[in-house]
Copies of this chain bind each other. A is one copy, B any other.
Amino acid sequence: MTDDELAELAHEVRLASQKLSRRVKDNTRTLAPHLFTVLARLEDGPSTAGELASRERVSAPAMSKSVCELEDRGLIDRIPDPADARAKIVSLSPSGKAALAAGRRERDAWMVEQLRDCTDEELRALRVAAEILDKVVSAE
């Protein structure tokens, strides 16, 4: 594939993905994106505010605020780190797990409706592409 063809493909893939993301976002009413992604990150296991901040590439104060709000809403638990009295260990609470599942359901719901009009062949093509895209986007 020539560089020009690659550039055109990149443009088409990017545009379709960004349109999709925007539509999903427009159809989301629950838990705000920045709080949702923190809960999703905590599925990998407990963490600290500082670690979450660097993983999400936001400032320490921004993450501190998010974590405080999530705690106020009962979506996470925070316990003192036994090894370091300055740090606190953040983990998903049962409510947080439920909120995460509900958020995913809502975010997927719009997508499901759109896919209902596709043929089985188109759906198979999308399944293959989703795998490739995920690999491409997770690289590095």
* Residues in chain B near residue A120, CB distance under 8 A: 1
Select which of B57, B130, B139 is within 8 A of A13 by beta carbon: B130
Q: Are B115 and A137 in contact (CB under 8 A)?
A: no
* Residues in chain B near residue A114, CB distance under 8 A: 10, 136-137, 139
Given the known interface contacts A120-B1, A123-B1, A132-B122, the answer about A138 and B7 at a Cβ–Cβ threshold of 8 Å is no
Give complex CA distance A61, B125 in Å: 42
Query: For the complex formed by this chain, how many copies does it contain in all?
Result: 2
Give complex CA distance A112, B125 in Å: 21
* Residues in chain B near residue A53, CB distance under 8 A: none
Q: Let me know if A14 is at the binding interface, CB within 8 A.
A: yes
